[in-house]
Each structure stands twice: as C-alpha cells, then as structure tokens.
Amino acid sequence: MSVNNPYQQYQQSSVNTATPGELTLMLYNGALKFLKQAKIAVENKQIGEANEKIIRVQDIIAELMGSLNMEIEISKNMYALYDFMNNRLIDANINKDVKALEEVEGLLVEMRDTWKEVIKLNKKGMKTAE
C-alpha cells in the first residue's frame, strides 16, 4: 500500500526509523494529544468524541504497559502508575470529568519529559563512548 500524502510518508518513515526510546516518546506525545482533544470534547459536551479520544489514550497506556519488562523492579512501579492512569481515564470517561483528565495529563507530561531526558542522556553517553 503506497502513501501519497507527504505528511503521512514522513510519519511512516519516522516510525520505521525510530529507536525504541523514540517510539515510547511518540506514544507519550500521542497520548497527550488525544487527552487534549478529549478535554475539549468534554468541555463542548461532545460525548461521543470525548469517549473516542479517551479510549485512544487508554489504548496507548495499554501499549506502554505491554512494553514493560516486568523482570526489572522499576517496571512494576511504572505498571502500577499506568494502571492508576487507566482507572482515572475510566472514571473520566464515565463521568466526563475534565479534572481526572488533567490529572492523567500531568502524570503523562512528567513521564514524557523524564523520558526525553533519558533519551538525551543516552545519546550523550553513546557519543562519549565512541
């Protein structure tokens, strides 16, 4: 299947050439994008749209949970945090609660920003090792 849209071609190329760390960063950014859209939909009383966007965030959270190596101790803590976020998203979807969405958004921003730093440090470490 060929992609004619240059933006879609760029996106596909970005995903295909990304490192696992960069893919995780893309997931965080995607979740944050859908969260913002969900908040707007809730505020505008677009219930179906809000539901769809919240489910997209839950799908990304599930993907992040599934990517954890549970043999590493920190993964167990991250799993619990993702599970907490997922439960807050369920509450937000049932009650159309913007505050719950903002709570998850704050956690995801913190995790995304930390992940960005990890990638930067990893790249620095790789350059130093060369």
| CATH code, domain carrying 47 | 1.20.120.340
- The structure's pTM equals 0.83
Q: Domain tally for the chain? A: 1
Is 4 contained in some domain?
A: no
| Tokens encoding 107 | 């956690």
- Which residue range forms the structural domain that includes residue 80? 19-129
Is 119 contained in some domain?
A: yes
Is 1 contained in some domain?
A: no
Q: Is the pLDDT of residue 9 over 70?
A: no
Is 49 contained in some domain?
A: yes
Is 60 contained in some domain?
A: yes
pLDDT tens for 59-88 read: 999 999 999 999 999 999 999 999 999 999
Is 84 contained in some domain?
A: yes
